[in-house]
Chain A
Amino acid sequence: MKYLLTALLLTASVFAQTDWEKWNKKENPYLIEKNSASRDYSLAGKNAVDAAAKIVIMGYWFFISDLDGDNCPFAPTCSAFLLQSVKETNILKGTLMFGDRFLRDANVFNRDAHYYVVKNNRHYDPVANYMLDKEKVKSFFDKYPDYSK
């Protein structure tokens, strides 16, 4: 509890001062911002192998995923997770990470506590946390502190 209070006090002091960063006029303050993320269907800047994999995934998105509803509770979605994990590691490690993500998706218990960062109503579960790199996981905690811990 004391850590929560300390953190809240620190956060309150930061947000009480909106002028600790220089700001400019806000453009278009009337407009309502769109919440949901959209798919990235571009093939720009990809080599032949990546492009081929992306085309297969895009086919899955277009014919199946975009039609069977928003079933994935996570962000990035499982297909996007596969794409990103293969891109950032290799095909073998990426596939294993995808398989693990699939298994974790099947677990409907304890999601709120385990995946406490929520973006666009989905639990944020980035690829970086599963690359067997402790520093990357630590950066995640630094960026998204969990005050319940």
Chain B
Amino acid sequence: MKKDTAILLLFIVLLGKAETRAQDELARQYEYACLLMQKGNYYDAVTEFKRLLFFDMRNKYKFVANSRLGECYKQGAKYADAVFYLNVALQNSPGNKERLIMKKEIIKVNILRRSFDNALQQIYELEKDTTSGFAEEADYWRGWTYIFEDDWEKAAECFSKKQDWQELKKICVETDKHKYSVTMAKLLSVFLPGSGQFYTGNYMSGIMSVGWNFLWGYISVNSLIENRVFDGLMTANFLLLRFYLGNVQNAEKFAENRNLEITNKALNYLQNNFNGEKP
């Protein structure tokens, strides 16, 4: 009897040890995959997370591995895949806290992939859910959505709602202040050829636009005055009009290019130098 009990106990111990080893190996696999991720080998990290999920028979790592997969794909700018895996992680979230984190991650990915309607809709839905605790930071993420949408004025409005967000508000206000008005540039060039280019700081282009427009304008008017109507109309249509429209187009293009430079400068700062939470 004693012998049989001893044998049974031995069997149970052996079984338990094997199970523990299995779980240890999964943990080691998870750590290895995370290490690859930390080193920036995202493609290989994805492979190892997928391996972990394949061998994780009890789905112990389903949430955390899928969330890591979403993070890896986000780093590689594979946003469709990122959203897919984050959604799987969301469906397997163990609790409300994790659910909120995953929903926020999905919002961040939608901001990065510039799906602004999706991001704003998700922010709104999450804000409505009073149990999530997201309401306090809804405007923060709304602000980030507007930043990526290049609407710095609206972004500044969102960030002005809390004291902690003043740094971002300041950046948005400054960026908006430095931007050129495309409409103003076009209007200036409509009324005075070359002035739109001066407004955007492209002085050489402005001077040459002034020159060409006044030259062809003078020739056209002079031809009409001297009753050379056909010559006047040809010069006005093929030369004056061409350079006039070109001047307006250039004013618009230069204003847009300058604005793009200003936006990218701000975005670059936010990406590399801003330490707060960001997409």
Contacts and interface: CB of A to CB of B under 8 A. Distances in A.
In the complex, A touching B, CB below 8 Å? yes
Interface of A: 18-19, 22-26, 28-32, 34, 36, 63, 66-71
A23 B212 contact: no
Contact of B43 (A23, A26, A63, A68): A23
Contacts of A70: 249, 253
Contacts of B77: 26, 29
Interface of B: 40, 42-43, 46, 75-78, 80-81, 112, 148, 150, 205, 208-209, 212, 242-243, 245-247, 249-250, 253, 257, 260, 263-264, 267-268, 270-271, 279
Given A67-B205, A67-B208, A69-B250, A31 B78 contact: no
Contacts of A26: 75-77
B259 to A, nearest CB: 10
Contacts of A66: 205, 250
A29 B176 CA distance: 21
Return the 9 tightest CB-CB contacts between A and B, nearest first: A69-B246, A26-B77, A68-B246, A30-B267, A30-B271, A69-B249, A68-B242, A23-B76, A18-B78
Nearest to A22: B43
Contact of A69 (B42, B150, B242): B242
A63 B242 CA distance: 14
B246 to A, nearest CB: 3
Interface of A is mostly: loop
Contacts of A29: 77, 112, 271
Contacts of B242: 68-69, 71
Nearest to B248: A69
Contacts of B205: 66-67
B266 to A, nearest CB: 9
Contacts of A68: 212, 242-243, 245-246
Q: From A24, A30, A63, A71, name the one whose CB has the most chain B CB atoms within 10 angstroms.
A: A30
A71 B246 CA distance: 8
Contacts of B42: 23-25
Nearest to B278: A30
Given A24-B76, A25-B42, A34-B260, A67 B247 contact: yes
Contacts of A71: 242, 246
Contacts of B249: 69-70
A25 B148 CA distance: 20
B190 to A, nearest CB: 14
Contacts of A22: 43
A67 B78 contact: no
B268 A25 contact: no
A29 B268 CA distance: 9
Contacts of A28: 268, 271
A31 B267 contact: yes
Contacts of B78: 18, 23
A67 B267 CA distance: 31
25 contacts: A18-B81, A19-B81, A22-B43, A23-B42, A23-B76, A26-B76, A28-B268, A28-B271, A29-B112, A30-B112, A30-B267, A30-B271, A31-B267, A31-B268, A32-B264, A34-B260, A63-B208, A66-B205, A66-B250, A67-B212, A67-B247, A68-B243, A69-B247, A70-B249, A70-B253
